[in-house]
């Protein structure tokens, strides 16, 4: 099997360095020069094909992929690269067959590897993720939405691969006319949910009149358990919805509509926004317990009641300060323009190529 890494001094290593630096044209020139000296490197050929395809030069890319397949027809890296290319140019059935075989072989390889061998298989998890998501895209284009959803589900909450996995699921929701709220709710309950799916649920809650802070607290708590990374600040729409949630909750606490201690995560967003927006679950819990009476509960003692009152007053003071600082936020958010499609059922945002293209 071709290696997952290349020596930096090799032609391929230098080309990959140029690509990482943003000079893909220079990288292609390096690879073409190296290929002119020797056509025996399958890894170089498939990488050249990928870069040509990335720049839209599909007709030039195809023979390099085919050449790589002739050199190493059993190599999983070569087959995955060619399978992804076939899906990109619309040959979905061929892509699905090729990528399906790659996925089965990689799973067997990972399952049979000894612990010391697993450590040496650098990037194998990412390799599996890329294969499954590429296969899901091919399955989607071939009309098999059920298989596509099954393949992307494990990667929706993954720190590195959720954008591509979500893009496939968003296309399924759009094409099949699914209810995005129901898909997001089921995903959150199962743990197979992306940050944008959670964002959709949060937006619906904070947009409702009146805002249900108990439900909002529950969604945030469940999402915290699904993600092992800083999901709250991963994209601007999430930052925006949490800014509004903090503002609404602070107003509600100040007016006495809700007690801060009943929603520790929302209280933490107001009292300790930096820690609450951080991906470290321990820090979030520390911030939450600073305004919660969940631990050390002893309802029979007056001292405990005084502590809870003091905590609530502390958060209320912070809420007032927060409201003064963000006095104009609510008005700005109230009049913000939303780009909604499908009669308001979905929310579509265009981002840079290679990132998330669609969300709801």
How would you write the pLDDT of the chain (360 residues) with one tens digit per residue? 444 455 567 888 899 999 889 999 999 999 999 998 889 999 999 999 999 999 999 999 999 999 999 999 999 889 989 988 988 888 888 887 888 888 788 778 777 877 777 665 656 677 778 878 988 888 898 899 998 999 899 999 999 899 999 999 999 999 999 999 999 999 999 999 999 999 999 999 999 999 999 999 999 999 999 999 999 989 999 999 999 999 999 999 988 999 988 999 998 888 766 555 654 444 444 444 444 444 344 444 444 444 555 555 555 554 444 444 333 333 333 333 333 333 333 322 222 333 344 456
Return the biggest CA–CA distance within the chain: 85
CB atoms within 10 A of CB 348: 14
Q: Which two tokens stand for residue 316?
A: 């209320």
Alpha-carbon separation of residue 228 from 151, 156, 280 (angstroms) = 20, 12, 8
In this structure, what DSSP letter does residue 340 have?
A: E
CB 64 within 8 A of CB 48: yes
Domain assignments of the chain as residue spans, ordered by start: 178-360
Task: Compute the distance between CA of residue 125 and CA of residue 21 in angstroms, rounded to an integer.
Answer: 25
DSSP per residue over 111-129, as a string?
Answer: HH--HHHHHHSTTHHHHHH
- The phi and psi torsions of 329 (rounded to 5 degrees) equal -65, -45
């Amino acid at each position: 099997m071709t290696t997952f890494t290349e020596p930096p001094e090799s032609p391929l290593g230098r080309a990959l360095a140029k690509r990482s630096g943003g000079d893909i044209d220079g990288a292609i020139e390096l690879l073409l020069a190296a290929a002119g000296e020797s056509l025996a490197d399958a890894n170089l050929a498939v990488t050249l094909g990928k870069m040509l395809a990335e720049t839209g030069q599909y007709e030039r890319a195809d023979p390099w992929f085919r050449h790589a397949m002739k050199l190493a027809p059993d190599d999983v890296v070569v087959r995955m690269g060619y399978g992804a290319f076939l899906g990109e140019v619309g040959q979905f059935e061929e892509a699905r067959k090729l990528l399906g075989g790659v996925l089965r072989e990689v799973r067997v390889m990972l399952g049979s590897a000894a612990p010391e061998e697993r450590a040496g298989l650098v990037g194998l998890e990412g390799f599996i993720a890329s294969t499954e998501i590429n296969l899901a895209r091919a399955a989607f284009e071939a009309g098999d939405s059920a298989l596509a959803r099954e393949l992307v589900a494990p990667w929706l909450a993954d720190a590195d691969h959720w954008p591509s996995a979500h893009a496939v699921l968003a296309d399924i929701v759009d094409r099949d006319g699914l209810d995005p709220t129901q898909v997001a709710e089921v995903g959150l309950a199962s743990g197979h949910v992306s940050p944008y799916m959670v964002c959709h649920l949060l937006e619906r809650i904070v947009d409702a009149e009146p805002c249900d802070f108990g439900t909002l607290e529950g969604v945030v708590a469940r999402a915290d358990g699904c993600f092992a990374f800083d999901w709250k600040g991963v994209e601007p729409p999430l930052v925006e919805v949490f800014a509004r949630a903090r503002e609404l909750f602070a107003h509600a606490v100040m007016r006495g509509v809700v007690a801060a201690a009943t929603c520790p995560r929302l209280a933490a967003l107001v009292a300790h926004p930096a820690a609450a927006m951080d991906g470290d679950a321990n820090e979030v819990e520390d911030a939450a317990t600073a305004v919660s009476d969940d631990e050390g509960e002893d309802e029979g003692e007056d001292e405990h009641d005084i502590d809870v009152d003091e905590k609530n007053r502390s958060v209320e003071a912070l809420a007032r300060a927060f409201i003064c600082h963000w006095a104009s936020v609510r008005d700005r958010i109230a009049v913000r323009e939303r780009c909604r499609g499908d009669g308001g059922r979905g929310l579509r945002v265009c981002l840079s190529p290679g990132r998330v293209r669609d969300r709801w």
